[in-house]
Structure 1
Amino acid sequence: MFTLNIITTSFPEASTVSTEYYDITDAIWDNSNSSSSSSSSSSSSSSSLEKETQREFYAAILPALIVFTVATTLVSSVVVCAAPWVKRPLSPTVRLSLSLAAANTLFAVTWTLCLVANMYLPMVQKVHIPECIKLSLEVLRLCGILIQILHLLVVALNHYIGIIRPLHYAATFTPTTLKVILCTLWLTPIVGMFVAFSSVTNEGFQATNCSNVTFYTHGLPFRIVWTCIFFGPTLVIIIVYCHIFYLLNNRSLYLVCAEQRTQLRRNIKTVRTTALIVVTFLVGWGPAVVKFILICSECVYTKTDLHTQMYLGAAFNTLFSLKVFIDTFIYAIRLPDIRKSLVMMWLLIRTRLRRRQPGLIDGLATSPSRTSSTRLSLSSPSFHRILHDLRASMSWKRGILRRQQQSSAPQRRASQAAAVRSTRFLARVRTSTGRQTRRLSRSQATAERQTRRLSRSQTAAERQTRRLSRSQTAAERQTRHLSGSQTTARVQIRRLSRMQTTAGGQTKQFARVRTTVDRQNRRYLSRLTPAGRPLLPASCHQQPSTSLSTSPVSL
């Protein structure tokens, strides 16, 4: 996954592909110290000293690490070899677990080859390895890591569907569907990684002798994509298992039957086993992925100390090997079917190893020298004991033949008739067994059909329930709308009544005003003279004459 980066950061000269990337730390130091010729000479001397230090470090660490990875590969291969002894029929969980163990073994093999071909032989033994072979091993190891990530994601979804929809589980994960999923899990990463390393112009497999992989060793986009590929499914897996544990803890409160509680405990144990594998996955590869995205020529940290690189690389490589080793024991101890298959395989191997050689008489008959093949003399007690056993067995057979010859013809006929009857009875039993087997197969097929129909009916019921809930929601919305419209109508009616009340008051007021006007008109008409002039009071008629007589000057 990040072998090139890890190896070159931990062991900078052991890059699997590019010679230019071997001395990247030296190039950084040269650029930083290129101000004078004396500094350049000191940097070259320090570079040679660092190379010697790295070689000594490789010679001390790599042999032990290679031995440990070889042992891990052998132990992981034992789990894969025990697959023929697993109890049939295989459940989808067991099939996925065995496929995950095979992916783990593939990673162990490619990791061992990378340590030997990419690091130990070029650096310690000074053996030249073609760059295309190194790059191919690196791509295969990346494929192994990606295959395991996808396997863990599918296993998590398998557990989730089995717990959320147990009645639809058998119809979802059929053997054909599972085979297609496994083929996709294995072929997609391999094809995708080889295409990725072959699609960049003048880099990867398109470069001369595969000597240029700058997009992988120095480029930041590839590191970002790979980090997303690693942590994206990992985050989904963690969320799925948290929800699964939450559902299982809540479901345990409603179980009454002992069989249901036992099945729940088995499910919890299986889920915990897969969760342990996810934890080893994160602990084994998570720190290296974080380092892969943080340290490069275009990353956040562009330079680290040489000793820090070597120690971090040794720690990460040890974590890789420990991850594979621990996963193997998790499969062997936690999964009951794989544990039983390992026990059966061990018993078979032990019985074959303890099986004795063929009999001494067969050795005497087939070997050219009796004394050399049996290492027994003719006068030895063992040889006389063997002859005595042979004589006893031959005398027993002669007695049987003699008694058969002495038996009468009716007894022979009776025995023959009994044999015929027994043969017929066995034929009838076989026929009835075949009929029962066919009936059982038909009943199983019928049960499967009924299960499918039940699942379809449940799906249809769920759809109808959803439609009913939608219609109920729509009815509730209409009811709320109707109640709102009724409230609005009541408010408008109240306003209209108020307006009517106000209009009535205004009408009464207008009637009063009109009555008052009518009264005033009548009074005014009653005061008019026949000539049409208003009839004034006496005071009003006398006042102008008085004013004229008294004040003529005013005229």
Structure 2
Amino acid sequence: MILNVIVIVSIYWIRTPMTPILKMSLSLAAADACSSMLYAANLFGLDLMEMVKLMGIVVTVAHLLALSLNHYLGILKPLHYNSIVTKRKLTIVICMLWICPVIIVGTLCGVEMNSHTFQSENNTELIYMDFENNTNKLNVSEDPFNNFRFRISYASLFFIPMVFMAFFYTHILIIVRKQQKVWKHLSRIGSTKWKGRSVNGCPSNRVIREQKQLEGNLRAICTTLLIMGSCFIGWMPALLLYSLMCEKGCFWQGDSLCELNRKHIKGIMTIRFIENLLIIMKMLANAVIYSIRMKEIKTYDNPIEKMELKY
């Protein structure tokens, strides 16, 4: 979390105009910092609302999805990119990346709590009738989020965007490979024209600009893919366990879950340790990726180091 905060503070030393990718990446760093803070609070036993704890992952995934779409537009429509991604639109999108996940998770939690309240009221009446007829008492779970329906719905907010991101980046890779083959072929045969533009021998400014823009986009894409990979490796095991283990409806549920925890306590503790270790490593990795891969932040790391040495 501290490393992410340092990355965000580096905005103060950036004097060059910030690109849309840089702005969204800094917002992603802020989302990572919030997610790390919520995880640390939960890890140290601070009691937080379930809805608040679950928001961090969704906000981060929303930023990654937006970055992948931004890269997709930059590669697919390079000439129209600046007219599509304006400063005003970018500001609105960044705000929505924080607001929409909160609304979605809040709605999901609200629906589940209302459903749980309704079931609890019905079960209360059944329990009264059961006592009158000397039958067994029904058990009602106190946790409205401890069921498969809610947990798989929440996990889908992580896995579905990952599928879309995989599609975007696969298509980007196909487009880039095709473009590179065209340039390589024209360079090999010594052609000076491509679609009416000078390419080799007397390259036009437009072609040079497009090649540099493609190189910059590829670097940004690699950075986002590294962050996406760290999030996938860090969060996927935890979300799979979250979806497979609960009181009702999951693969391991109720008595079978209690029996599993009792019989394989060492194995479960080892799995939980690895799960938490992967999440912590993901938090550290993302901050390192920001500082190494993003040249604007890498350039202005030195003032931060000087400030730290000074104090």
* TM > 0.5 fold call: yes
CA contact (8 A) 1:87 1:337 kept: no
* CA 1:213–1:135: 2 relative to 1, 3 Å: farther
CA contact (8 A) 2:148 2:244 kept: no
Which residue of structure 2 aligns with residue 214 of structure 1?
A: 143
**CA RMSD in angstroms, aligned pairs only:** 2.4
* CA 1:90–1:213: 2 relative to 1, 3 Å: farther
- 1:306 Cα deviation (Å)? 2.4
Matched, 1:148 2:60: yes
- 1:264 Cα deviation (Å)? 2.6
What residue identity is the alignment partner of 1:221? R
Q: How many residues align?
A: 258
CA contact (8 A) 1:280 1:327 kept: yes
Q: Distance in 1 between matches of 2:220 and 2:177?
A: 15
Q: Distance in 2 between matches of 1:345 and 1:135?
A: 33
What residue identity is the alignment partner of 2:251? V
Of the two, which has the highest radius of gyration? Answer: 1
Q: How does 1:26-105 map to 2 (within 5 A)?
A: 73-105=1-33
Q: Secondary structure at the match of 2:18?
A: coil
* CA 1:314–1:167: 2 relative to 1, 3 Å: same
- 1:260 Cα deviation (Å)? 4.4
Q: Distance in 1 between matches of 2:163 and 2:223?
A: 18
Which residue of structure 2 aligns with residue 21 of structure 1?
A: none
* CA 1:172–1:213: 2 relative to 1, 3 Å: farther
What residue identity is the alignment partner of 2:305? W
Q: How does 1:344-493 map to 2 (within 5 A)?
A: 344-347=303-306, 350=309, 353=311
Matched, 1:317 2:276: yes
What residue identity is the alignment partner of 2:241? K
What residue identity is the alignment partner of 1:275? L
Out of 284, 287, 307, which is 1:328 matched to? 287
- 1:216 Cα deviation (Å)? 1.1
What residue identity is the alignment partner of 2:54? L
Query: Which structure 1 residue ranges, 5 or more long, are not aligned?
Result: 1-72, 119-133, 354-555
- 1:308 Cα deviation (Å)? 2.5
Which residue of structure 2 aligns with residue 191 of structure 1?
A: 103
Q: Secondary structure at the match of 1:323?
A: helix
* CA 1:215–1:169: 2 relative to 1, 3 Å: same
CA contact (8 A) 1:252 1:261 kept: no
Instruction: State the structure with bigger RCO (CA 8 A, min sep 6), 1 or 2.
Output: 2
Which residue of structure 2 aligns with residue 283 of structure 1?
A: 233
Deviations 1:201-255 (A, max 9, x none): 3869xx9xxxx753312x1111221122111110000111111111111111333
Out of 180, 183, 188, which is 2:92 matched to? 180
Which residue of structure 2 aligns with residue 201 of structure 1?
A: 114
What residue identity is the alignment partner of 2:153? V
Matched, 1:237 2:165: yes
Percent of aligned positions with the same letter in both sequences? 27
Q: Distance in 2 between matches of 1:197 and 1:232?
A: 19
CA contact (8 A) 2:74 2:217 kept: no
Give the TM-score, by structure 1 length.
Answer: 0.44
Q: Distance in 1 between matches of 2:232 and 2:305?
A: 32
- 1:301 Cα deviation (Å)? 2.5
Query: Which structure 2 residue ranges, 5 or more long, are not aligned?
Result: 121-140, 184-198
What residue identity is the alignment partner of 2:178? N
* CA 1:231–1:112: 2 relative to 1, 3 Å: same
